Amino acid sequence: MNLIPMDIHAHSQHSMDGEHPVADMCAAAAKLGIGVFAITDHCEINDFERLDTAATLASSFKDTEKAKALYAGKMEILTGLELGQPLHDMARTQSVLSQYAFDFILGSVHIVKDREDFYCMDYDSDALNIEFELEAYFNELLETIRWGGFDSAAHLSYPFRYVQRHYKRPFKISHWDDHFEAVVQLLAEKGMALELNTSGLRDTPPYTMPDVRWIRRYRELGGESLTIGSDAHVPQAVGAGIRQAVQMARQSGFDYLCYYKARKPHYLSIKESSS
């Protein structure tokens, strides 16, 4: 077994917040001996035109296909996509998904329909109703999972990193336990994957998205498909935190990790005995 079995969430210069070629990201993964690696550039459905996504998608897919051929037999490379806010324009979403034969689709909610981005909210303002904003986040996330046109739910709890850092009034994340429970339950019921995103492990204090207790809960509720991703935007971050995440997965009751090839789930053993 590879020490780093997979890292299936990474961005290249074909994402608005990335600047490194697909080839450089893949070379970093190969150097670490990663088993399965995916490029999952952004496709923010709500902002498709402004970000010139038709062009970035085409380039990301083409460059990743090239890398896939280059590393064939040495490392499994997946053509992936981080599909943000798919419900904001379903016709657009369907057209993107039918245009390219992606291996793997991550589903994300970065911004709730008709609301402000959590990243930009004025956390000092008395007008901010954080309960309302988070309720709206969970509602959209649940609706996106009910639609189900993606493989793995990316970075569940994403808004909380901003809220916990910037919100000045009393705030308890445990208040949202029922909402987290509803999300992992729905994923498990629908046989969809949950992502353990390690990008927060590079932060202080370190955290994962979601917290490991929701990984365990998803497993308890019958969820079988856990994907792991670093969400790397630079070659140096490729594979970061993955070994720690594999330990968390084992401790949460997973013997296998999941990845998708041609949108079909495949399972990789992480049993200690098989290493």
**Which of 205, 149, 213, 147 lies closest to 184 in space, CA to CA?**
213
For the bound state, the minimum distance from the C-beta of residue 98 to Zn ion, rounded and expressed in Å, comes to 23
- Of the pair 35, 159, the CB lying nearest Zn ion is at 159
Nearest residue (CB) to Zn ion, 93 versus 108: 108
CA distances from 190 to 107, 155, 183, 257 (A): 14, 18, 11, 17
Minimum CB–partner distance for residue 231 and Zn ion (Å): 4
Q: Are strands 256-261 and 264-269 parallel, antiparallel or unpaired?
A: antiparallel
Residue 80 or residue 126: which is nearer to Zn ion going by CB? 80
Least CB distance to Zn ion at residue 108 (A): 4
Nearer to Zn ion, 140 or 231 (CB): 231
SS3 47: helix
Smallest separation (angstroms) from Zn ion to the CB of 1: 26
Q: Which is nearer to Zn ion, 7 or 76 (CB)?
A: 7
Distance CA 107, CA 155 (A): 9
Signed CA dihedral, 155, 156, 160, 165: sign only: negative
Chain residues binding Zn ion by CB under 5 A are 82, 108, 231
Residue 87: exposure state from Cβ atoms within 10 A (0-12, 13-18, ≥19): middle
Q: Closest distance between Zn ion and the C-beta of residue 222, in Å? A: 26
